[in-house]
Amino acid sequence: MSDPTPDRAAIFARLAELIAPLNKKEIAIAEDTNFANDLELDSLTVMDLVANIEDEWDIVIPLNLLPELETVGQVADAVARMTDK
Amino acid sequence: MTDLLSKFDGLIAERQALLDSGVSDPFAIVMSEVKSPTEAVINGKDTILVGTYNYMGMTFDPDVIAAGEDALRRFGAGTTGSRVLNGTYQGHKEVEEALRDFYGTEHAMVFSTGYQANLGMVATLAGRGDYVVLDADSHASIYDGCAMGNADIIRFRHNSVEDLSKRLGRLPPEANKLVVLEGVYSMLGDIAPLKEMVAAAKAHPNVMILVDEAHGMGFFGAHGRGVYEAAGVEADVDFVVGTFSKSVGTVGGFCVSNHPKFEILRLVCRPYTFTASLPPAVVACAATSIRKLMHSDAKRERLWENTRHLHGGLTQAGFTLATATPESAIIAVLMPDQQTTAMMWSALIELGVYVNMARPPATPTGIYLLRCSICAEHTAAQIDAIIDRFKKAAAATDCQLKAA
């Protein structure tokens, strides 16, 4: 397996772009930025964002996984894992 | 002090701010008297009801009332038990028979509410390793069924055939999948393109389809079975879920199917097994009402006529409606924000019109609305009065209307 780091960085950068339109308070997006507490996204908005992420990388993110995906970094990890197949 | 309820502080503050602005509480009305399917007394005032699900006006049907009274006297006030223990009476079998006749299916299973029917069917059919594929705008009972079960949950963009197909295409072909659709989506009153969606779903391997027809029963399709009947896809729909609390006019839920193994669900579907069955009077009312709905062509006609009347009148008055044409018996009037919605709702109740106020998460993100649901028993004069009072309420609250 090749070094996943460059891909991970690209995934994070693209994730930040997908989140940007929802970032009403224009806070800086970091690894530990929390969707509910920092970005203040409600559950419907999070689910719409998940659909965009699924389509961006052609992956499946079941809604039942969402409780484990609280931060931008955790989502980047999940996307990296799912695209590394 | 913080405790388990502190997580609701934000909502408590938002609600208080709204009530402090002088509007009455849209989620706390009491009907002190119900005069007919379309009229009640609220806050001491005669009020036209246009926010009930009493589409076919069966709540006061004399045959329905008589059947309920008779069952109440003969079988008592309640069953005090589960359907699988002491809670199945003759009436429960009769209402299931009425459903089989109405839907032309081999099997029918009656739950205590429509919410439990969706909860139980979704949670039980799809287990670990299976997938539930649901529309983004699905009813809370479908989402809750997903949360209760162990399947992986995939959500597709509302009414998008392309999105449904794309998401099914990403799933392992060998996995079993349950696609959950609704005939009528109850918030915006739009209907699903079921012909196209069912075809797209069945093009993928190992797909079963469940359609919720809660808001379509009684007046879509040749037999009033729902949007799926009108769309001609009965042969490809595996399960139909419905309710007695809308067109049927009482309370209860059900699922009908032709699947040969359907009956086993009575023993494994927890929201069916582990709750008390419906009271005898309720199942007697439901059975009588369902059989009458088989022959209610005149009522269906009046319901559609009333729906066109209200949709046309509100459009002409300059209101923005969720659907360009009246697709179902629900007409959703779009509002710009929560404050305007609450003020309009308040003005309408003062004028003697009850509609539903709806906001996220019941509605899609950012959508606030006043929802009208029409009854076959509304008179043309009542519909005119509703339109007139909507105009007066808009004038009183500075709600902006489009130029006619």
Overall number of domains in chain A: 1
For residue A25, what are the domain limits?
5-83
CATH code assigned at A54:
1.10.1200.10
Taking phi over 0 as left and psi of -120 to 50 as alpha, with beta for the rest, B372 belongs to beta
CA distance B20 to B308: 37
**B146 contacts chain A (CB < 8 A):** yes
Judging contacts by C-beta atoms under 8 Å, the chain A residues touching residue B148 are: none
Test B155 with A58 for CB contact under 8 angstroms.
no
The CATH superfamily holding the domain B19-56+296-397 is Aspartate Aminotransferase, domain 1 (3.90.1150.10)
For CA atoms A13, A14, A15, A17, the dihedral sign is positive
Distance from CA of A23 to the nearest CA of B (A): 15
Of A45, A48, A60, the CB nearest to B154: A60
CA distance B23 to B13: 15
| Per CATH, domain B62-293 is 3.40.640.10 | yes
pLDDT (tens place) for every residue of chain B, 404 residues total: 899 999 999 999 999 998 898 888 888 899 999 999 999 999 999 999 999 999 999 999 999 999 999 999 999 999 999 999 999 999 999 999 999 999 999 999 999 999 999 999 999 999 999 999 999 999 999 999 999 999 999 999 999 999 999 999 999 999 999 999 999 999 999 999 999 999 999 999 999 999 999 999 999 999 999 999 999 999 999 999 999 999 999 999 999 999 999 999 999 999 999 999 999 999 999 999 999 999 999 999 999 999 999 999 999 999 999 999 999 999 999 999 999 999 999 999 999 999 999 998 888 888 999 999 999 999 999 999 999 999 999 999 998 898 76
CB of B38 within 8 A of CB of B57? yes
Model-level pTM greater than 0.90? yes
Q: What is the CA radius of gyration of chain A?
A: 12
Q: Which residues of A touch B (CB under 8 A)?
A: 42-45, 47-48, 50-51, 54-55, 58-60, 62-64
Q: Where in chain B is the domain with CATH 3.40.640.10?
A: 62-293
Of A45, A59, A63, the CB nearest to B155: A63
Edge-to-edge, what's the strand order for the sheet holding B330-335?
A: B330-335, B368-373, B356-358
Distance from CA of B135 to the nearest CA of A (A): 12
Of B151, B155, B163, the CB nearest to A47: B155
